Structure formats: structure tokens, C-alpha cells
A = this chain, B = another copy of it.
């Protein structure tokens, strides 16, 4: 393993000079710089991460806490994670992958050991038990998600409330009066995951304003669960003509069941999904949808975090504006019979 000292010797300069060439923190003459860079290349030198972290008091690592649960929005999570890793690299950071398993202890361990310089948390609950720890540590952090109380925190998220409102607005504009919301699995609401509840709030508020009726039903994914949910919905509100779906694994079952029941999309019922674009265009009916900008969220989170690390920025809540794309699954409400 090549060390900085060896590079220095090879280039005929002192160790500190090599260090300054690397960091650019002091001016170095062009010729010296070239000589050093040449030596680095020739010897295949890579600075030792541990030594660097020790001496420099920063590890150049960002910790990313992903949820352990693999039952929800998995591709979105993955996309965020990859965007985080990729963006972090462009800023010279590596990413440490933590699962939710350790819970709050992971926060303590990472901040205490100096393993990472900062952290990004995903899957934030409204009253997340990791938040007190984040507030009292001096390490910068960014949440992907929005807790109930954001004081002293930096958050990046899709504006879920606006997303819910947008869906209702679209359906209202098409003349629908009775709307059913197919939500995430019950467990997601039970643990008060921010995005699910906020979507619902936004949706209901707008529905009230536009004077439509909303029936919300959580739903596990899959056909059987969806079949049950759907029949209950039509039992309770036979006049339902608009659907908002916020559960990727319910999308296809819903479409299939509607078809099976002889309800045409979009002639008889309209469907608006909240899902990644890829899912929307690959569905059996190209879905009118509000996209979940996974990449953008990951990228934003890293950029906020780097800004904080460099002291360029303070706390802030960034809510991305939702965008609804009209595709083939929504249309005018049928005339009342």
C-alpha cells in the first residue's frame, strides 16, 4: 500500500507538500504540482481513508438510513438510494448504508464514532423517534420525508398534501363527485408515515372545498386484497366514479378488476395514480398520474446536506411541487343515470 510519504520521496518533496497538492489548501508551484501528480499516478497512490478521517476530522462519508421494511415503494426507495449514492460521489462523498433495524442506536453509533459526517434519513414518521437525537447532535442531517415538527431540521419531500389536492382537482374538474382513495397498507397509516397521512389530508381538504365525497380505504397489495376492498367500496358508494391510487401493488389489480366488472376506464370510471412514471406508462391502461420524483429527491437531499456541511446553508424545508400528467385513465364523469 503506497503512502503519502512514499509519494513525497518519489517526487523529491516533503509530505506536507504532497498533502497540499492534494487538498489545494496552499498554493503550490506549477512544476512541483506536476511532479507530485506524476508520482501519484506512477505509484498508483490512494490516500488512506482512515488516516484522512483521523487527521482531518471528517470521513467524507454520508450515512443513508433506509427503511428495513421492503413492503412499500421499493423501487422508489432504491431509486432514491442510488441517486443519493451517485450524487454524493460527485461531491466527493461515499455513502454508508444503514438499515432501520438498529433504529435510533444507529444514529448514536454513527455520530459518536465519526464514521460519517452527516446523515440522510428515509421513511420518516410524523413523530419519529430518531428526531430528538438528530436535533441534539451537531452533525448535519437531511430527512427525506416530513415529520410533524420540523424545527431545527432540514427536510426534502414531495409536497404530498399538494399531490392529494392535485388528484382531487383533476377528478373534480372532470365532473366526478364520488371519489375512492386506495391507500397504502394499513400498517403504513398505523405508524403514521408522513407522506400517507399528508396525501390524505390534502386530498380531503380539497374535496371539501370542491364539495366532493371521498372514501379512503387502505389496501394491502395484490388481487385478493384489492378485490375485497373494491367490492366494499362499491357496496358503500355505488356511485363512485373516480379513483385515486397510492399503492403501486394495487394499481394493476384495480385495473384488472374494473375491467372484469365491466367498468370501462376511463369511460365509466377514472383512475389517477400516485406512482413513478415508469409504473404509470407500463400499466395496462396508461395511467394519469402524479409522479414520485425519486431521483430528484435523492439528489436534492444530498445537495442540501453538502451545503450544510460546507456551512453554506441552514435548516430548510424543501417541498417539491407535484406534477400531474394526464394519460389514458381519466376522463369526464359519466352522465348520471
Contact = CB atoms under 8 A, between A and B. Distances in A.
Contact of A53 (B2, B50, B81, B95): B50
A112 B75 contact: no
Contacts of A50: 49-54, 59, 114
A24 interface: no
Contact of A75 (B74, B253, B282): B74
Contacts of A46: 108-109, 112-113
A57 to B, nearest CB: 8
A228 interface: no
Interface stretch (A82-90, A140-148, A154-162, A194-202): A82-90
Nearest to A99: B85
A212 interface: no
A96 interface: yes
A38 B325 CA distance: 60
Contact of A70 (B82, B109, B249): B82
Interface of A: 1-2, 44-54, 59, 61, 64, 66, 68, 70, 74-75, 77-79, 81-82, 85-86, 89, 94-99, 101-102, 108-109, 112-115, 221-223, 249, 252-253, 256, 281-284
Select the residue from A44, A99, A253, A283 with max chain B CB neighbours within 10 A: A99
Nearest to A253: B284
A85 B66 CA distance: 10
27 contacts: A44-B112, A46-B108, A46-B112, A49-B50, A50-B50, A50-B53, A50-B54, A51-B54, A53-B53, A61-B96, A64-B97, A66-B82, A70-B75, A74-B74, A75-B75, A75-B78, A81-B81, A82-B99, A85-B97, A89-B99, A94-B97, A95-B96, A97-B97, A222-B282, A223-B284, A253-B282, A256-B256
Contacts of A223: 282-284
Contacts of A256: 256, 284
Contacts of A102: 89
A114 B64 CA distance: 21
A46 B114 CA distance: 9
A95 to B, nearest CB: 5
User: Which 3 pairs across A and B sit closest by C-beta, in order of nearness?
Assistant: A50-B53, A46-B112, A222-B282
